[in-house]
């Protein structure tokens, strides 16, 4: 069984520094204390349309999180994935009503 440090090192985040969606994923990773490899994707240079990137996300948008053989795109889906897989330092409240309000804010 891999240690938590080994599990954390396998995370890769494909991101653009000016993307607000990517920014919230970076914040979540920091709050959860997860280490990750940052993979810069320049939207200005069109790198999100490269064959390497579109293999990960055919839609061609950032962010994309790679966790070993699991690829998750869309910041909201990534946040939910991180919350379920790495429960330390929860991002969401335990109270169901407060959690629902949190979901509403994320979707907007």
Active site residues: 19
Q: Quick one: angle between helices 75-85 and 96-107, nearest 10?
A: 150
Query: Could you give the 3-state DSSP secondary structure of residue 93?
Result: coil
H or E stretch at 72: strand 70-73
How far apart (Å, rounded) are the C-alpha atoms in residues 80 and 25?
10
How far apart (Å, rounded) are the C-alpha atoms in residues 105 and 108?
5
The token pair at 3 is 């240690």
């Amino acid at each position: 069984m891999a240690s938590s440090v080994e599990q954390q090192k396998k995370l890769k985040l494909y991101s653009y520094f000016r993307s607000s969606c990517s920014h919230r994923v970076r914040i979540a990773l920091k709050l959860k204390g997860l280490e990750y490899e940052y993979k810069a994707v320049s939207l200005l240079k069109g790198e999100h349309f490269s064959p390497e990137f579109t293999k990960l996300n055919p839609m061609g948008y950032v962010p994309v999180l790679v966790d070993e053989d699991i690829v998750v795109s869309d910041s909201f889906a990534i946040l939910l994935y991180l919350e379920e897989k790495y429960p330390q330092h929860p991002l969401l409240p335990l109270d169901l009503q407060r959690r629902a309000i949190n979901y509403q804010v994320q979707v907007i």
